[in-house]
Amino acid sequence: MSITQAIILGILFCFCRMGILYTWPKNIPLFGAMLIGLVLGDLPQAMIIGAAIQAIYMGVIQPGGNIPTDQVLATFIAVPIAIQSNLEPSVAVTLAVPVGLLGVLLDYIRRTVNAGWIHMADSYAEKANANGVMRAHFLYPTLSLILIYIVPVAIAIYLGPNAVNNFMDAVPDWIMSGLEVAGGVLPALGFAITISVIERGNIIPYFLFGFFIYQYASDVNAIAFALLGMFLAYLHITFTKNNNTEEGAS
C-alpha cells in the first residue's frame, strides 16, 4: 500500500466518522468497505469482509450520541489490513471488535479536546473577536481531527498489521480483557436489539430460518444471505399486503 492510499483512507475515515453528509449511509461498515475497496482496487473482497463486520454491528444504536463501539474505525482498520494480509473475513472480525471498542476512547478524546475550543470561542466572543470565534469553531477543531483521527488511522493502515498488533500488545491486559468481554457481548446484543425491533411474531420465523440456514450452509457468504433476506422480505410484504388491507377495512 502506498502512503497516498493510506492518507486517502484516513481522510475518508474522518469523513464517514463525522457524518459530514447526513443523507449518506456513511457510518456503516458496508459503505466504508466500498470506499476502501475502491481505493485499494479490490472491491469484491472489501465488500465480503465489510459484510462480515456489518453482521456483528446489527442493531447497534447510539443513545444520547454516545457510541457503544466505533464500527467506522473497526472497518477502516480491519478491512485494509485483511486485504493486505489476505486474511479471512472471520479473522478480520476478530480484529475489528477490539479496534472498534478502542475507537470509543478515541472519540472521548476528541470530545474532550473540542470542549476546550468551545470555551475558547466563548472567550473570543466576550472580546468581540469574530475572527477568533471562527478559528475556534472551524480551524482548531479541523486541526484536532487531523491529529486525532486522520494521522493515526493513516499510519495504522500504512504500517499494516504489525503496527496494530504492537499497539494492541502495548495496551494493559486489564483493558484488553474488558474490551474482549464487551466485544463478546456485541453480536448477541445486536441480534437481541434486532429481534426487539421486529416485535411482530409472524416475522420471527424468518429470523430463525435465516439463523439456522446460515449455521449449516457454510459455503454461502453473508452477501448471498442478505440478498435472500431481501427477497423473502419482498415476498412477505407482497403476500400479506392484501390481508392487512382487509383487516384495516373491517
Q: Judge if 14 and 73 occupy the same domain.
A: yes
pLDDT tens-digit readout, 89-119: 877 887 787 788 778 778 878 888 888 888 8
CB atoms within 10 A of CB 137: 15
> Based on the structure, what is the number of domains in the chain?
2
Owner of C-alpha cell 427477497: 231
CB atoms within 10 A of CB 2: 8
Is 136 within 8 Å of 121 (Cβ atoms)?
A: yes
Range of the structural domain that residue 129 is part of: 3-199
Integer CA distances (angstroms), 142 to 16, 98, 188, in order: 15, 27, 36
Is 148 within 8 Å of 109 (Cβ atoms)?
A: yes
Long-range pairs, 223-231, Cβ under 8 A, ≥24? 223/47, 223/48, 223/51, 226/51
**C-alpha closest to that of 232 among 206, 208, 213, 250:** 206
Q: Judge if 87 and 211 occupy the same domain.
A: no
Q: Judge if 49 and 151 occupy the same domain.
A: yes
Grid cell locating 119: 470555551
Specify the pLDDT at position 25: 63
Q: What's the pTM?
A: 0.62
Q: Judge if 246 and 182 occupy the same domain.
A: no
Task: Give the confidence band of 199 by pLDDT, cuts at 50, 70, 90.
Answer: low
Q: Judge if 189 and 214 occupy the same domain.
A: no
Task: Using DSSP, state whether 250 is helix, strand or coil.
Answer: coil
Boundary residue ending a domain (199, 221, 237): 199
Q: Judge if 189 and 237 occupy the same domain.
A: no
Q: Judge if 165 and 84 occupy the same domain.
A: yes
Q: Judge if 69 and 167 occupy the same domain.
A: yes
Q: How much of the chain exceeds pLDDT 70, in percent?
A: 71
Please tell me the distance from the alpha carbon of residue 250 to that of residue 246, in angstroms, as a whole number. Answer: 6
Q: Judge if 172 and 234 occupy the same domain.
A: no
Q: Judge if 52 and 148 occupy the same domain.
A: yes
Q: Judge if 84 and 174 occupy the same domain.
A: yes
